[in-house]
Amino acid sequence: MKRVGFVVNPIAGMGGRVGLKGTDGRAAEAIARGASPVSPDRAREMLRALRPLKSAAEIRWVTCKGPMGADLLAAEDFPPSSHEIATEPSVPTTPKDTKIACREFEKRGAELIVFCGGDGTCRDVVD
């Protein structure tokens, strides 16, 4: 069984669409300007494409509780037995939650980290 870390920045992709150049600390402003989350939709697209593949059954997802991972796996019919919760993010989520999650994924033996977010999320994953 392959262990794959899965983390989603639930507010990534909103700021640029309304001229904010990112949403770190500005999610409420982005929403007030009419933005809606983008990265959860991208994560669902990926999961939908992966689910029918035979190899998908060989993945043990290591993820975060709630909107940073587990909620999306459940919404796309990945059974609870297909994943484990590595962290419980703060509300609202922060870049620190992504960094903590990725460190925990590594501790739990994830061979790969799949993330859905923007360039800020990418930096957080690498950090």
What is the SS3 assignment for 64-113?
Answer: ECHHHCHHHHHHCCCCHHHEEEEECCCCCCCHHHHHHHHHHHHHCCCCEE
**18: confidence class by pLDDT, cuts 50, 70, 90:** low
- Exposure string of 78-89, with b = 16+ CB inside 10 Å and e = fewer, is beeebbeebbeb
Distance set, CA 22 to CA 16, 102, 113 (Å): 6, 21, 22
**127: confidence class by pLDDT, cuts 50, 70, 90:** confident
Given this model, what pLDDT does residue 65 score? Answer: 98
Mean pLDDT across the chain, nearest whole number?
Answer: 88
Which of 17-26, 27-36, 53-62 has the lowest average pLDDT? Answer: 17-26
Question: Is residue 114 helix, strand or coil?
Answer: strand
Residue 24 pLDDT greater than 70, yes or no: no
pLDDT (mean) for 60-74: 98
Given this model, what pLDDT does residue 38 score? Answer: 84
